[in-house]
Amino acid sequence: MCVGLGAVSTTFITGVLMTRKGLAKPVGSMTQYDKIRVGRGKDKKYLHYGEIVPLASLDDMVFGAWDVYPANAYESAVEAEVLKAKDIEPVRDELLAIRPMKAAFDRKYASRLDGDNVKDCATRREMVEALREDIRRFKKENDCDRIVVIWAASTEIYVPVDEAVHGSLASFEKALDANDTDRIAPSMCYAYAALLEGAPFIMGAPNTTVDIPAMWELAEKTKMPIAGKDFKTGQTLVKSGFAPIIGTRCLGLNGWFSTNILGNRDGLVLDEPANFHTKEVSKLSTLESILTPEEQPDLYADYYHKVRINYYPPRGDNKEGWDNIDIFGWMGYPMQIKINFLCRDSILAAPLVLDLVLLTDLAARKGRFGTQRFLSFFLKSPMHNYEEGEIPVNHLFKQYVMLKNAIREMGGYEADEEID
């Protein structure tokens, strides 16, 4: 069940439906393409994820959504202009049947959105109960064994962690009943409802939603997996892969300037400063755990890191990212690296949605609950226990080792850190 039926969700759903008919390939999906070595020496072999662990089949997936706009999945996919007609029309009937449920929405959290397909809830508790009923009804009507809820909607305004409300499940529920609309975002209502209904929850935006002690406690209590936050698609994917090159080669960094132009609904929402701040916090967090001054003070003690996102309607979903990287080498001599990534936001996000849904569902069936750190490979700002001083892993290749080892362990194989 997708929160949001915009460009990302409809690209994901359409791609899965087309793949099921043999009319498209799920390129970019680790669960559908990647192979992992299991065993060692003469016993080693390379297997697809589905040959190691019992992933759900694409044929068994059923799609539902909430959205502030009433357009069905077909109308939304056409309007998003991500996919060509030839890639939408063969599954038109299936898309027409996916109509979004009314969203639990508070406009002060995304002021640039003005849809009217919104629940008439007077309180946050009413939002939660309405969402729980949606999940129960969808599960029953579609004869589903299991549900996974994933946030593929817009970035909310930044909600800082407040110990008095977010520090424990009891304090969160007290604030919920007191209708604390300033510190309990609508996204938190979705997560709370999902977990209470036995559905794992994935946060695909940089919202604080499940990255708070109250939700960690609820995930432990309900024995449900949670994951977040913020799909790692374009510029941050490049950053988490390229920064390790600088670090591994022991080159110094003076500064890294990143800017983007984006014209889809996400770009519109992020054009609001309060919403951009949430994204900025997420995107700025990547370098600091890869190029650390504590480990290499001569190289990374005082670099400047700046991130910008600019709304530019003509570009639509075709995001463009520029990175200017000022490095220095032998005897402190300066050098520069320029990266220009012309990407398609939803085309990169869709396979992440598929992988996150399938792997979170797998984790639930394998008895894994709480924060699923092995899914950090797919996320910009990986959740971690900041209360205990845990440092998040943003290094792409270390994240890949974590991903592979989780798959190995869930498949009954030994974990290892051999590079292959």
The pLDDT, as a whole number, for residue 315 is 87
Does residue 322 sit in the same domain as residue 376?
Answer: no
Number of domains present in the structure of the chain:
2
CA 17 distance to own-chain centroid: 21
192 with 128: CB under 8 angstroms? yes
Does residue 336 sit in the same domain as residue 375?
Answer: no
- Each residue's pLDDT tens digit in the chain (420 positions)? 999 999 999 999 999 999 999 999 999 999 999 999 999 889 899 999 999 999 999 999 999 999 999 999 999 999 999 999 999 999 999 999 999 999 999 999 998 899 999 999 999 999 999 999 999 999 999 999 999 999 999 999 999 999 999 999 999 999 999 999 999 999 999 999 999 999 999 999 999 999 999 999 999 999 999 999 999 998 899 999 999 999 999 999 999 999 999 888 777 888 888 887 777 776 677 898 899 999 999 999 999 999 998 999 998 889 899 999 999 999 999 999 999 999 999 999 999 999 999 999 999 999 999 999 999 999 999 999 999 999 999 999 999 999 999 999 999 999 988 777
Helices (H), 37-102: 49-52, 73-80, 92-96
Task: Calculate the dihedral angle through the C-alpha atoms of 8, 10, 15, 20, rounding to the nearest 10 degrees.
Answer: 140
105: number of Cβ within 10 Å: 21
> Would residue 419 count as lying in a domain?
no
Does residue 70 sit in the same domain as residue 153?
Answer: yes
Does residue 90 sit in the same domain as residue 214?
Answer: yes
Instruction: Please identify, among 344, 367, 394, the residue that sits at the C-terminal boundary of a domain.
Output: 344
74: number of Cβ within 10 Å: 21
Does residue 114 sit in the same domain as residue 223?
Answer: yes
* DSSP result, 338-349: EEEEE--HHHHH
Does residue 216 sit in the same domain as residue 102?
Answer: yes
67 with 103: CB under 8 angstroms? yes
134: number of Cβ within 10 Å: 20
Alpha carbon distance 296, 292 (integer Å): 6
For residue 58, which of 14, 124, 3 has the smallest C-alpha distance? 14
The pLDDT, as a whole number, for residue 269 is 84
> Would residue 62 count as lying in a domain?
yes
Strand 35-38 and strand 65-67: pairing? unpaired
For residue 124, which of 215, 49, 185, 199 has the smallest C-alpha distance? 185
For residue 344, the SS3 value is: coil
For residue 168, the SS3 value is: coil
Residue with tokens 């994204």: 279
Output the domain CATH number for residue 266. 3.30.360.10
Does residue 354 sit in the same domain as residue 335?
Answer: no
Does residue 64 sit in the same domain as residue 211?
Answer: yes
For residue 216, which of 72, 373, 356 has the smallest C-alpha distance? 373
Does residue 106 sit in the same domain as residue 158?
Answer: yes
Domain that holds residue 85: 2-231+347-410
The pLDDT, as a whole number, for residue 97 is 98
329 with 252: CB under 8 angstroms? yes
82 burial level (CB within 10 Å; 0-12, 13-18, 19+): buried
Encoded tokens for 293: 């001054």
**pTM for the structure as a whole:** 0.95
Residue with tokens 């292959």: 420
The secondary structure element, H or E, covering residue 47 is: strand 45-48
Q: What's the CA angle centered on 348, arms 346 and 353, to 5 degrees?
A: 80
Does residue 250 sit in the same domain as residue 185?
Answer: no
For residue 296, which of 339, 344, 328, 341 has the smallest C-alpha distance? 328
Amino acid symbol at 135: I
> Would residue 416 count as lying in a domain?
no
- Partners of residue 345 on adjacent β-strands: none
Instruction: Please identify, among 344, 362, 387, the residue that sits at the C-terminal boundary of a domain.
Output: 344
The pLDDT, as a whole number, for residue 418 is 79
Does residue 239 sit in the same domain as residue 328?
Answer: yes
* DSSP result, 263-279: -SHHHHHHTSHHHHHHH
Residues 6+ apart with CB under 8 A from 129: 193
Output the domain CATH number for residue 390. 3.40.50.720
Does residue 249 sit in the same domain as residue 133?
Answer: no
